[in-house]
Chains A and B, each alone.
Chain A
Amino acid sequence: AQSVTQLGSHVSVSEGALVLLRCNYSSSVPPYLFWYVQYPNQGLQLLLKYTTGATLVKGINGFEAEFKKSETSFHLTKPSAHMSDAAEYFCAVSDPNDYKLSFGAGTTVTVRA
């Protein structure tokens, strides 16, 4: 069974600053990895995903994440935060042999003007 840990339940950044959201996972097999974003009063939407191949994955809205197998991590970054990035971010992991997608507890991002 897999599990996901998101370090930091709340991250506050200045507009224009780097956004770094941390995600570590545990899985008995190479997992599929996802980042989702949830804006207020909305459902989750996919930011990016890693299944196989290149370990640096680019997503929507300027976000990217790097799969590091040795560190069992899949941290999400954006070089320059925008006010519209204020939202809840969820890391998720799927075992290819399993039907289930496990979500982390989420990280709330606030952006200061």
Chain B
Amino acid sequence: DTAVSQTPKYLVTQMGNDKSIKCEQNLGHDTMYWYKQDSKKFLKIMFSYNNKELIINETVPNRFSPKSPDKAHLNLHINSLELGDSAVYFCASSQDGTGAHYSPLHFGNGTRLTVT
């Protein structure tokens, strides 16, 4: 049973295209996240949703738009892709209901995005 699953695993596309990454968790968690991991493995939070409500929105270009149709799903849509968007994008979830960050994160296996 996959706890946090994201698709696709690999995404190769050209500059200027629009793409989406999907994420689903079957853990019953209240909070979901998108993280970006760059080529130096540095992890940076992008967005967080708690029960479909946006609670963290870091300084991310507005070409990136998260959507949470229900608390088990958090998708990431990226418009007008740029070379600098190449990275591994991780979806994660946690039990936190209040946003107090003491529950561990459960990560998906990542989506490696390559923009050419």
- Using a CB–CB cutoff of 8 Å, the interface residues on chain A facing chain B are 32, 34, 36, 38, 41-46, 49, 51, 88, 90, 94-101, 103, 105-106, 108
B4 touches A43 (CB 8 A): yes
Knowing A100-B56, A105-B40, A106-B41, the reply to whether A43 touches B100 (Cβ < 8 A) is no
Least CB distance from A110 to B in Å reads: 14
B109 touches A41 (CB 8 A): yes
User: CB of B105 within 8 A of chain A?
Assistant: yes
**Assembly CA distance A83 to B44 (angstroms):** 29
B101 touches A94 (CB 8 A): yes
Knowing A51-B102, A96-B100, A98-B101, the reply to whether A43 touches B41 (Cβ < 8 A) is no
Given contacts A44-B107, A100-B101, A101-B105, 16 further A-B contacts (CB under 8 A): A32-B101, A34-B104, A36-B105, A38-B41, A41-B109, A42-B109, A43-B108, A49-B104, A88-B41, A94-B102, A98-B101, A99-B48, A99-B56, A105-B42, A106-B42, A106-B43
Contact with A along B55-75 (1 / 0, CB 8 A): 110000000000000000000
11 A-B pairs with CB atoms under 8 Å apart are: A42-B109, A43-B4, A43-B90, A43-B92, A44-B105, A46-B104, A95-B101, A99-B48, A100-B45, A101-B101, A103-B43
**Assembly CA distance A97 to B56 (angstroms):** 14
**Assembly CA distance A42 to B108 (angstroms):** 8
A46 touches B105 (CB 8 A): yes
B92 touches A96 (CB 8 A): no
**Assembly CA distance A88 to B102 (angstroms):** 22
Q: Most chain-A Cβ atoms within 10 A of its Cβ — which of B41, B48, B55, B92?
A: B41
Q: Most chain-A Cβ atoms within 10 A of its Cβ — which of B42, B102, B107?
A: B102
